Amino acid sequence: MKFIFSLVLFASIAYISYAVSVTWGNRNSSDALLMRERIVRAPLKNNYWSVNVEFPKPGQSNQRTISAVIVYDHFNNKSGAQPNLWSGGPGWRFATINLKSAMSSGINSTVEIYGR
């Protein structure tokens, strides 16, 4: 009984973490958080959002190598924005992440970039 319970619990944790976040690269415990940005957009009727998140920001510079890019989706219901890594990312010092919302849906996502 205890075994079945822990199996179910593990399955639901794995499911939730799969559903709400997307990770590129590997975050190591000594990595520094280089950027955290929350992107929130209200739904557009019969249209969708396509938002580019740039790191570093224009006019800023970054000397660290990115180890991981993590995007959290706060909708938790599969209608949140789909993230794509358009350029850079792990192994580079820059990254462009695109967030594309579902039709007639908004965005409520957080982008985190770690480096070392």
Ligand X SMILES: *[C@@H]1O[C@H](CO)[C@@H](O)[C@H](O)[C@H]1NC(C)=O
Could you tell me the two tokens for 30? Answer: 């000594």
Q: Does 62 bind ligand X (CB under 6 A)?
A: no
- Biggest CA–CA distance in the chain, Å, is 58
The residue among 48 and 75 lying less far from ligand X, judged by its C-beta, is 75
The residue among 8 and 44 lying less far from ligand X, judged by its C-beta, is 44
Phi, psi of 107, rounded to the nearest 5 degrees: -130, 140
Draw the binding track, 70-89, toward ligand X (x: CB under 6 A; -: no contact): ----xx-x-x----------
Shortest reach from residue 108's CB to ligand X, in Å: 4
Q: Does 61 bind ligand X (CB under 6 A)?
A: no
Report how far residue 93's alpha carbon sits from residue 46's, in angstroms, rounded to the nearest whole number. 36
- Number of amino acids touching ligand X (CB under 6 A): 10
**Which residues contact ligand X by CB under 6 A?**
28-30, 40, 74-75, 77, 79, 108, 116
